[in-house]
Amino acid sequence: MSDRVTLSVIKADVGSVCGHSRPHPKMMRVCEDVLKDGVKAGTLNDFYVTRVGDDINLIMTHNRGENNSSVHGLAFEAFQTAAKAAREMKMYAAGQDILKDAFSGNIRGMGPGAAEIEFKERGAEPVLVFMADKTEPSAYSMPLCRIFMDPFTTTGLVIDPRAHEGFKFEIVDVMDSKKIVMSTPEESYDILSLLGDTTRYAIKRIYSKHADVGVGACVSTEKLNLCAGKYVGKDDPVCIVRCQSGLPAVGEALQPFMFPQLVAGWMRGSHYGAWYPCSVEDSDPSYFDGPPRVCSLGFQISHGKLQGCEDPDSPLGVHKPVDYFAGSVWDEARRKAVKASIYMRQHGPFMPGILGPEEMEYTTRPAVLKKLQDRMEKID
Ligand code: 13P
Ligand code: 13P
Ligand code: MG
Ligand code: MG
Per-residue pLDDT, averaged over 146-170, amounts to 98
pLDDT of residue 234: 74
**251 CB within 6 A, ligand 1:** yes
pLDDT of residue 108: 85
pLDDT of residue 282: 98
- The DSSP H or E segment spanning 47 is strand 46-52
Residue 377's contacts (CB-CB under 8 Å, 6 or more residues apart) are none
| Closest residue to atom 8 of ligand 1, CA basis | 249
Q: Which of 61, 46, 103 is nearest to 79 (CA)?
A: 103
- pLDDT tens digits for 307-338? 998 876 666 557 899 999 999 999 999 999 99
Atom nearest to 249 CA in ligand 1: 10
Are the C-beta atoms of 91 and 22 separated by less than 8 Å?
A: no
Whole-number mean pLDDT of the chain? 94
**62 CB within 6 A, ligand 2:** no
pLDDT of residue 316: 56
- pLDDT tens digits for 231-283? 555 789 999 999 999 999 999 999 999 999 999 999 999 999 999 999 999 99
Query: What is the per-residue DSSP string for 1-16?
Result: --SSEEEEEEEE---B
**334 CB within 6 A, ligand 2:** no
Ligand 1 center to 160 CA (angstroms): 11
- pLDDT tens digits for 89-98? 999 999 988 9
pLDDT of 133 higher than 60: yes
CA distance 50 to 299: 13
Domains and CATH numbers, the chain: 1-120 (3.30.70), 122-369 (no CATH)
| Closest residue to atom 4 of ligand 2, CA basis | 20
* Residue to substitute in 242, 244, 300, 322 for testing ligand 1 pocket (most ligand atoms within 8 angstroms of CB): 244
pLDDT of residue 361: 85
Are the C-beta atoms of 117 and 240 separated by less than 8 Å?
A: yes
**243 CB within 6 A, ligand 1:** no
Atom nearest to 133 CA in ligand 2: 3
Ligand 1 center to 249 CA (angstroms): 8
Ligand 3 center to 255 CA (angstroms): 28
* Reported pTM: 0.96
**357 CB within 6 A, ligand 1:** no
Phi, psi of 37 (to 5 degrees): -60, -35
pLDDT of residue 198: 95
Q: Which residues partner with 61 through β-bridges? A: 7, 46
Closest ligand, as measured to the CA of 12: 4
CA distance 184 to 166: 5
**13 CB within 6 A, ligand 2:** yes
| Closest residue to atom 2 of ligand 2, CA basis | 134
**53 CB within 6 A, ligand 2:** yes
- pLDDT tens digits for 41-75? 999 999 999 999 999 999 999 999 999 999 999 99
**128 CB within 6 A, ligand 1:** no
Q: Which residues are catalytic?
A: 13, 231, 234
pLDDT of residue 226: 61
**Burial letters 148-179, b for 16+ CB under 10 A, else e:** bbbeebbebbeebebbebbbbbbbbbbbeeee
**172 CB within 6 A, ligand 1:** no
Q: Which residues partner with 203 through β-bridges? A: 171
- CA within 13 Å, CB half, 327: 8
| Closest residue to atom 10 of ligand 1, CA basis | 249
Determine which of 135-149, 230-244, 298-312 has the lowest per-residue pLDDT on average: 230-244
SS3 272: strand
pLDDT of 175 higher than 90: no
Instruction: Give the pLDDT band of residue 368 (cuts 50, 70, 90).
Output: very high
Counts of helices then strands in the chain (DSSP H, E): 9, 16
* Residue to substitute in 11, 13, 98, 294 for testing ligand 2 pocket (most ligand atoms within 8 angstroms of CB): 13
pLDDT of 210 higher than 60: yes
Phi, psi of 275 (to 5 degrees): -70, 125
Dihedral sign of CA atoms 159, 163, 166, 171 in order: negative
Ligand 2 center to 289 CA (angstroms): 7
